[in-house]
């Protein structure tokens, strides 16, 4: 086997700074403590001071690191001129530009931003854009602004698959390839963030957005800042027309009216008062700024967005706190029954996982008296961390998980189903992130369904997309419906406390209800994605649906009927807009699914209580490595 002699990609981080004394120390500490995988190396952090008149320079000098390089100037020239200096100064293969009034969300932020340059080599990427995450609002104006930003983010993420100038806003991290960076030179009279997008488009280069590279941003807390921010935006759009075709600028800054109305209606049903206030605020600032025609590069900073320090303890764990202690350990458990077709592929997926903030201690597979070749496959697997257990009598999934828990001593336990596929080599990292950073006790991954060739599966696929849109919008996704059994992570505090009732069929719902009932915390890890197969036959779907419906009778005995009703109740205000939207788009499919659903409800009335040793849905099994995502997609594969 040839030794990998590929050089590490050198990462340069550039920070243009003007009067950033309130945040610069926190920002630099978090950047210095970023964890990069073995393919990357942090080469330098370049600060360019744009004539700062406060203590920004002095604070920077107090942080001792050979990685920090500074370029000082007494004159203020604007961010555009300073970024041109940055382009001519950086030495790395990739340049990351970060605003000085933001903070990396976690220890993996920079790694997540630059990873697509390695993963997508064939696409020849030249820019990767992250996501700006609003800090919890404290004032009414901040709440309105945050609500508006959420509306816009969802809208612009859908429009043109998220590849539009709105997604390159300055507060979102940006990583540029050296070949692209050397072709950049900002005019001094344009907004630096959107100029990058149009220059990239002009050169015919490729960009990608990644939600896993997040920065924390404080939104405007004063009406004056809102007005001035909008003035900057409007003036910027007008100034861009000097350098790019006017028709292109108008087209790229004008989303379809139908799409805008769709997101306004959805958000109105979710939060009518905030949506109305946001529209009024939007009309007000646009009216005040309707005569603006030019962009001012030396605009007055927005003071209410600068100081993030009051949030850091309550919202995100400080990076240095993690570094003072050893990395937490993770064990992965897989309860398996007749999984010979997929268990090998799954273990290979696990072996390819990149853990930066934790250490994988062991993988425990419990075979629940499998009658196929599952054990034979496992005994042939050469993995040092693999531990195999086997039962002589089939006892069910809950029993198998209890056996795995007994053999676990790690800080975090990840439980995976044996019939899933993991395509993202950072899935486990993203799954455990809320436990490490937000004090969660239980997390669940986002599930994605494979397409196949049967019409029946297409009906189920559309229904699953509808349900996901509803469930992930309700309580920010932190509800019983997103807690899937296919991939979850448990804190040690929770998994040493919980004992799965071996007679319970819906062990995923049981885990969620136990968590909430006993005052633990559940967070939906929407960036951690796994794939699974839907039932390919009506018979297999009936097995799953009837089992699901019947399971709530068992759960009511454990937790009480009123608690179950409280946790399973959905907001009509959230659900109805999505139902209406999908019915207009797929009327026949939705009608057929509702008919199937009614039948399943009726069928469940004549089924006695389910046992924990249910009949397996054979059509959901198979070797996933042979399954390909379709060339055609009815809608985005979410």
Among 205-209, 375-379, 423-427, 619-623, the minimum mean pLDDT is found in 619-623
Take residue 435 and report the two structure tokens written for it. 């436990």
In contact, 421 and 346? CB cutoff 8 Å: yes
Residue 627 has pLDDT above 70, yes or no: no
The CA-based diameter of the chain, rounded to the nearest angstrom, is 81
| Predicted pLDDT of residue 444 | 97
Q: How far apart are CA 396 and CA 337, in angstroms?
A: 9
| Predicted pLDDT of residue 326 | 67
CATH 3.90.550.10 range(s) for the chain read 9-315, 326-618
Q: How far apart are CA 214 and CA 108, in angstroms?
A: 9
| Predicted pLDDT of residue 621 | 60
Residue 539 has pLDDT above 90, yes or no: no
Q: How far apart are CA 128 and CA 121, in angstroms?
A: 13
Helix axes 572-585, 257-270, angle to 10 degrees: 150
Neighbouring CB atoms inside 10 A of 393's CB total 8
Among 5-9, 464-468, 553-557, 602-606, the minimum mean pLDDT is found in 602-606
pLDDT digits (tens, 9 = 90+) for 433-464: 899 876 899 999 999 987 666 788 888 888 88
Dihedral angle sign, alpha carbons of residues 288, 293, 295, 298: negative
Residue 379 has pLDDT above 70, yes or no: yes
Average pLDDT over residues 76-95: 92
Q: What is the mean pLDDT of the chain?
A: 84
Under the banding of pLDDT at 50, 70 and 90, the label for residue 601 is: confident
Cα–Cα nearest to 115, from 429, 570, 333: 429
Tell how many helices (H) and how many strands (E) occur in the chain: 24, 15
| Predicted pLDDT of residue 631 | 34
Average pLDDT over residues 558-581: 89
Cα–Cα nearest to 615, from 554, 539, 555, 510: 539
Under the banding of pLDDT at 50, 70 and 90, the label for residue 305 is: low
SS3 content of the chain, % helix, strand, coil (to 5): 45, 15, 35
Beta bridge partners of 416: 487
Beta bridge partners of 386: 363
| Predicted pLDDT of residue 620 | 52
Cα–Cα nearest to 498, from 558, 444, 552: 558
Q: Taking the CA of residue 68 as centre, how many other CA atoms within 13 Å lie in the half-sphere pointing to its CB? A: 21
pLDDT digits (tens, 9 = 90+) for 112-158: 999 998 876 666 889 999 998 888 888 898 899 989 988 998 899 88
Residue 75 has pLDDT above 80, yes or no: yes
Average pLDDT over residues 160-180: 89
Average pLDDT over residues 4-19: 84
Q: How far apart are CA 75 and CA 18, in angstroms?
A: 11
- Residue of 190 and 636 predicted with greater confidence: 190
Angle at 331 between CA 330 and CA 332, to 5 degrees: 120
Average pLDDT over residues 95-110: 90
**Looking at domain 9-315, which CATH architecture does it have?**
Alpha-Beta Complex (3.90)
Residue 322 has pLDDT above 90, yes or no: no
In order of 170, 282, 290, the CA distances from 239 in angstroms are 17, 21, 15
Q: Name the CATH topology of 326-618.
A: Spore Coat Polysaccharide Biosynthesis Protein SpsA; Chain A (3.90.550)
Take residue 85 and report the two structure tokens written for it. 């200096």
């Amino acid at each position: 086997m040839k030794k990998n002699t590929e050089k590490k990609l050198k990462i340069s981080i550039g920070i243009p700074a003007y009067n950033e004394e309130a945040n610069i120390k926190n920002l630099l500490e978090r950047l210095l403590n970023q964890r990069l995988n073995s393919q990357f190396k942090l080469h330098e952090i370049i600060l360019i001071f744009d004539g700062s008149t406060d203590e920004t320079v002095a604070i920077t000098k107090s942080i001792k690191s050979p990685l920090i390089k500074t370029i000082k100037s007494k004159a203020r020239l604007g961010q555009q001129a300073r970024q041109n200096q940055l382009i001519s100064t950086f030495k790395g293969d990739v340049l990351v530009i970060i605003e000085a009034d933001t903070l990396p969300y976690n220890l993996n932020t920079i790694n997540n931003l630059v990873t697509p340059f390695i993963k997508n080599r064939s696409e020849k990427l030249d820019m990767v854009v992250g996501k700006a995450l609003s800090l919890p609002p404290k004032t009414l104006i901040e709440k309105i602004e945050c609500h508006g930003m959420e509306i816009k983010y969802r809208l612009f993420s859908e429009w043109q698959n998220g590849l539009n100038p709105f997604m390159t806003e300055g507060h979102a991290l940006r990583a540029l390839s050296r070949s692209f960076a050397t072709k950049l030179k900002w005019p001094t009279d344009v907004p630096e963030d959107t100029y990058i997008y149009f220059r990239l488009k002009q050169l015919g280069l490729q960009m990608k957005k990644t939600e896993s590279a997040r920065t924390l941003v404080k939104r405007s807390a004063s009406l004056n800042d809102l007005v001035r921010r909008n003035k900057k935006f409007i003036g910027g759009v007008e100034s861009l027309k000097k350098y790019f075709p006017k028709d292109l600028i108008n087209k790229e800054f004008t989303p379809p009216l139908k799409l805008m109305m769709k997101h306004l209606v959805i958000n109105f049903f979710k939060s009518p008062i905030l949506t109305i206030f946001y529209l009024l605020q939007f009309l007000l600032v646009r009216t005040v700024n309707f005569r603006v025609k030019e962009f001012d590069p030396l605009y007055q900073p927005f003071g209410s967005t600068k100081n993030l320090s009051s949030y850091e303890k309550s919202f995100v764990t400080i990076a240095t706190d993690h570094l003072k202690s050893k990395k937490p350990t993770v064990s992965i458990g897989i309860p398996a029954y007749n999984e010979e077709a997929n268990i090998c592929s799954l273990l290979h997926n696990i072996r390819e996982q990149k853990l930066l903030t934790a250490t994988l201690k062991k993988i425990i597979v419990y075979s629940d008296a499998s009658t196929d070749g599952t054990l034979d496959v496992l005994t042939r697997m050469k993995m040092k961390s693999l531990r195999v257990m086997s039962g002589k009598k089939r006892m069910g999934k809950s029993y198998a998980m209890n056996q795995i828990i007994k053999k676990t001593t790690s800080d975090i336990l990840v439980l995976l189903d044996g019939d899933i596929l993991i395509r993202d080599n950072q899935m486990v990292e993203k799954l455990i992130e809320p436990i490490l950073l937000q004090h969660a006790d239980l997390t669940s991954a986002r599930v994605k369904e494979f397409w196949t060739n049967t019409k029946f599966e297409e009906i189920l696929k559309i229904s699953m997309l509808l349900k996901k849109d509803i469930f992930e919008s309700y309580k920010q996704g932190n509800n019983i419906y997103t807690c899937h059994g296919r991939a979850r992570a448990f804190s040690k505090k929770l998994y040493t406390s919980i004992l799965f009732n071996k007679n319970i069929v819906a062990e995923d719902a049981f885990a969620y209800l136990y968590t909430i009932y006993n005052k633990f915390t559940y967070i939906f890890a929407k960036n951690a994605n796994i794939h699974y197969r839907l039932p390919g036959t009506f018979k297999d779907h009936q097995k799953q649906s009837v089992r699901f419906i019947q399971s709530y009778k068992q759960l009511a005995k454990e937790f009480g009927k009123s608690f179950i009703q409280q946790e399973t109740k959905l907001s009509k205000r959230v659900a109805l807009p999505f139902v209406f939207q999908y019915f207009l788009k797929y009327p026949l499919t939705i009608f057929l699914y509702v008919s199937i659903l009614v039948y399943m409800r009726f069928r469940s009335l004549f089924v006695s209580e389910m046992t924990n040793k249910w009949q397996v849905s054979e059509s959901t099994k198979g070797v996933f490595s042979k399954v390909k995502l379709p060339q055609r997609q009815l809608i985005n594969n979410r």
